A and B are shown apart, each in its own frame.
Chain A
């Protein structure tokens, strides 16, 4: 069965600092896709970053980067120079094949303090 586990229900960080959110997953597929979604209080699901499993290079989007460890089935999100607007629930998600449904973790609530 495909599963996604986020072991940190809550995390906190100070503005301008760096925080890392953890995610592990399980899949029998060799090619798959991993995502981090942000859900602010508005409840909108916003794609933060995407990683294709066949790519060895870690994805980066501005202040957001991932540490993708395929053998360990680990996919952590690093947020650098944290901002107040980063406060949200973050979901890790797995997609086994293109065009199929996402499997989500339970989420990590990130709070940012000034």
Chain B
């Protein structure tokens, strides 16, 4: 158990809909990262939050957004869903952000868009 919790584990939704994925980081971890794993694109970094503030952006679509709340949990919002958004979405957390290099991954949310 990595200590990172993601909900839900599975999600099936229709094209055009909006979903929210939730992540609770390890206790004390300030950084949260979101990654997308798809068959054609592999594992791609989407966005990072550190202590409530956006720190870095990767290949995140404009239809996607994220936030980190005061209790440090994070949510990834995916809107106007397309078939190609079907993927495994991982959340990872790490320590202070400057000295701690190891990222701990949640079990992922499997999103299927039909």
Contacts and interface: CB of A to CB of B under 8 A. Distances in A.
B48 A107 contact: no
A44 B109 CA distance: 11
The size class of the interface chain B forms with chain A is: 20 to 34
Given A91-B43, A101-B33, A43 B108 contact: yes
Interface stretch (A22-30, A66-74, A77-85, A92-100): A92-100
Interface residues of A, number: 21
Determine which residue in B42, B44, B48 has the highest number of CB atoms from chain A within 10 A of its CB, and name it. Answer: B42
A91 B31 CA distance: 21
B1 to A, nearest CB: 9
B99 A102 contact: no
B45 A103 contact: yes
Interface in B94-110: 94-103, 105, 107-108, 110
A45 B94 contact: no
A99 B99 CA distance: 7
A99 B43 contact: no
Contact of B98 (A33, A42, A91, A99): A99
A86 to B, nearest CB: 19
26 contacts: A42-B107, A43-B88, A43-B108, A43-B110, A44-B107, A45-B90, A45-B92, A45-B105, A46-B105, A47-B102, A47-B103, A50-B101, A91-B43, A98-B98, A98-B99, A98-B100, A98-B101, A99-B50, A99-B95, A100-B56, A102-B33, A102-B43, A102-B92, A102-B103, A104-B43, A105-B42
